[in-house]
Structure 1
């Protein structure tokens, strides 16, 4: 029996992510197509590989055994691609960058622009996802460069400090806090609706840890899976939020939002660069990472 490698890739992606929808998004195919592909693959190999339930997808014992071989196979495939890319140099090829949402949206543009101007023959691919998902993609060697906003628990992935980011409380210009001339008492947040990113987001983890350490319990927590959508909700007066100052800069300058200082409370977080200890970076990745060490024209502070 010859395994269909396309279907094997579908299966291994679903098994690793524990979700058909997330696998479909990563592979850029429809969810019905990936569901059918996995069913066809199970028929081909003659056994059930995945157990499906409302809580998610878990590999069977047969599936786990096959997944190990699949990961080795696709790692060899990527190694071959990297060898050929290295031989081609920096005149062509591709660079896959994964970054958690705030970094991808608000911080990477100057670096991407500088790299593209210097190496126009390299195709750039930027994946934006939350911290947990970027860690998973780095572990699976699906990206060459990984940048995240929060702690990483993915086995085999090393996180090295890249930058420091400041987070601030943002409110609408009509909010009662907007008239404050001095830093406010953080305990006032106990009476507010606080808008946060979804679990798995680095921003969410840092804010939650800070609030818990200071015994701050907002009246309600509203989850929105996009920093841009969070800012719009704050502008509309739905609640307040704590976000990277970089992400709010434009709206603050336009007067739509206002940043508020919290008395005795400064929220700063490390931004992390991900590494795989046993993987030699491709030439394009090495050059891009060197650029990340430069200040460029990007300032993370006002």
Structure 2
């Protein structure tokens, strides 16, 4: 038997106030509505819950047992309301952000700092995975925000454009192109191009741009942008990576940036969402920051 919680509330209020009239006043409804509600509730549970006396109404033995449970239930309800209020005011709670590797390593830190300064009571968690991994985490409801480097073909997700990222060619300081300001794209056919692992958004964007240009270089697969930069600096090949990832090595002179005259590669970075999912207040606040 599923209890009617509205009727349970009417009954518990009558017990708490000691009369139908005071319960009606507390609930801001008519006294006949309270009386009818309690009668309907007694019919539902199959026993008398209140004794009407000259001194007012008092609960029966069954009524006393039920009202104890009602008090616990409504206390839990108030606690839930209080917690939701705290979350709405962003004074406490947590936010889990999933980001693909390049975004997490080089782009998201400033946004996290802005959010933390505005909402220091929110505990932040950053989960790093490749694009497909972040998508899977979002579908599993294990993260609140999903930022990835490539669009995801999944009917259960909605992809929204977030920002544009420029991809650029990098070579080692001793490479034959190191002093060149630009090269022809076809020259890449003569080089080993170091690429990320399958599933990486950056790899897919670069691969598609090269296919469209009719360029098929030899490739060497390395699983992280940091490792790719080290490999390029060591002379193992060249790479096309997000320009946001190489500032430190360019300043140190270990890498050189070379323009490709006939091949401009830009990519859209994406935010993944689950349609009809209600975002938490913290997630909405973070989204506002990253889209400013």
Matched, 1:113 2:110: no
Partner of 1:267: 265
Shift of 1:139: 1.3
Paired residues, what number? 211
Matched, 1:139 2:144: no
Partner of 2:122: 122
Matched, 1:211 2:215: no
**Does the 8 Å CA contact 1:85/1:282 hold for their aligned counterparts?**
no
Paired residue secondary structure (1:189) = helix
Partner of 1:64: none
Shift of 1:205: 0.2
Counterparts of residues 155-194 of structure 1 (less than 5 Å): 155-181=155-181, 183-194=182-193
In the superposition, relative to structure 1, how do residues 175 and 119 fare at CA in structure 2: closer, same or farther (>3 Å)?
same
**Distance in 2 between residues matched to 1:83 and 1:246, nearest whole Å:** 43
In the superposition, relative to structure 1, how do residues 210 and 83 fare at CA in structure 2: closer, same or farther (>3 Å)?
farther
In the superposition, relative to structure 1, how do residues 137 and 189 fare at CA in structure 2: closer, same or farther (>3 Å)?
same
Once the two structures are superposed, residues 264-290 of structure 1 have per-residue CA deviations (whole angstroms, 9 ceiling, x without a partner) of 210000000111111010010000000
Shift of 1:102: 0.6
Shift of 1:118: 1.3
In the superposition, relative to structure 1, how do residues 277 and 191 fare at CA in structure 2: closer, same or farther (>3 Å)?
same
Counterparts of residues 61-80 of structure 1 (less than 5 Å): none
Shift of 1:83: 8.3
**Distance in 1 between residues matched to 2:214 and 2:227, nearest whole Å:** 27
Partner of 1:245: 243
Once the two structures are superposed, residues 92-137 of structure 1 have per-residue CA deviations (whole angstroms, 9 ceiling, x without a partner) of 1110000111110000111101111111111100011111111111
**Distance in 2 between residues matched to 1:87 and 1:239, nearest whole Å:** 55
**Distance in 2 between residues matched to 1:266 and 1:203, nearest whole Å:** 14
Moved over 2 A (4+): 82-88
Unpaired runs of at least 5, structure 1: 1-81, 295-302
**Distance in 2 between residues matched to 1:247 and 1:233, nearest whole Å:** 14
Partner of 1:103: 103
Paired residue secondary structure (2:177) = helix
Unpaired runs of at least 5, structure 2: 1-79
Partner of 2:275: 277
Partner residue of 2:225 out of 224, 227, 243? 227
**Distance in 2 between residues matched to 1:174 and 1:244, nearest whole Å:** 21
TM-score by length of 2: 0.70
In our comparison, the structure showing a higher alpha carbon Rg is 2
Partner of 1:258: 256
**Distance in 2 between residues matched to 1:241 and 1:170, nearest whole Å:** 6
**Distance in 1 between residues matched to 2:82 and 2:262, nearest whole Å:** 54
**Distance in 2 between residues matched to 1:107 and 1:179, nearest whole Å:** 28
Partner of 2:55: none
TM-score by length of 1: 0.68
